[in-house]
Amino acid sequence: MAEFLWSTVGLILKAVDFVLDMTIFISRLRFLARAWTGSDRLVAVPADPKALSPAARRALAEAERRRDGASFIDKYVREASR
């Protein structure tokens, strides 16, 4: 009877050890993922991006035109200042 109890206690301790090993493995794997990606935290990425509204598309197009225009002007301003 005592041998059965000790083997049961040993089996329970092995199961607890296995669970702790898996927890440590997952923790280290998450740390490795953060090191590879350079991210501070894991982020869930949405499956599909939402479509932009017409107003958002117009604002984005206007911002791109302004950015392109500014870089066009900056190119000549920088050359003239040399």
Both tokens assigned to 10: 């040993």
**What burial class does residue 44 get, using C-beta atoms within 10 Å of its C-beta: 0-12 exposed, 13-18 middle, 19+ buried?**
exposed
pTM of the entire structure? 0.44
- Which DSSP helix (H) or strand (E) runs through 21? helix 2-37
Q: What integer is the mean pLDDT of 72-78?
A: 61
How many Cα atoms are found within 13 Å in the side-chain-facing hemisphere of 45? 3
What are the domain boundaries of the chain?
Answer: 1-41, 52-82
Residue 79's pLDDT is 54
Q: Which residues contact 14 (CB under 8 A, 6 or more apart)?
A: none
- For 6-24, write each residue's pLDDT tens digit: 999 999 999 999 999 999 9
At 51, the pLDDT band (50, 70, 90 cuts) reads confident
